[in-house]
Amino acid sequence: MTVITLRPAPPPAVPTQITRARAKVALHEAGLLAAVEAAIAAHSYPVLRLWWDNALTFERNNAYLNALADELGLSAEAIDALFIAASTRL
């Protein structure tokens, strides 16, 4: 008799970058897009607004992204989950 041991699939890898469109869809689906856009619109640092408005891709290790996540109370795990979700969108 052969014994087969099933192991859970490894968690998906966190992408290093995602497209702007995929990021916005993932934020929308998570119910966060309006809050993110409001925080950016009200932000005192104009370069953050320029970055948000013009970036073609969002990099996971970007200082602006991580600072904004901190301001919004989003954990590193939540950002990773958003990047994983965004990577599955068309």
| SS3 category, 58 | strand
pLDDT on residue 1: 76
The tens digit of pLDDT for each residue in 21-60 reads 999 999 999 999 999 999 999 999 999 999 999 999 999 9
Give the HSE-up count for residue 24: Cα atoms under 13 Å, Cβ half-sphere: 10
Sign of the CA dihedral with 70 first, then 47, 90, and 12 last: negative
The tens digit of pLDDT for each residue in 5-16 reads 888 888 889 999
| C-alpha–C-alpha distance, residues 82 and 73, integer Å | 14
In this structure, what are the phi and psi dihedrals at residue 74, rounded to the nearest 5 degrees? Answer: -95, 130
| C-alpha–C-alpha distance, residues 38 and 36, integer Å | 5
pTM, two decimals, is 0.86
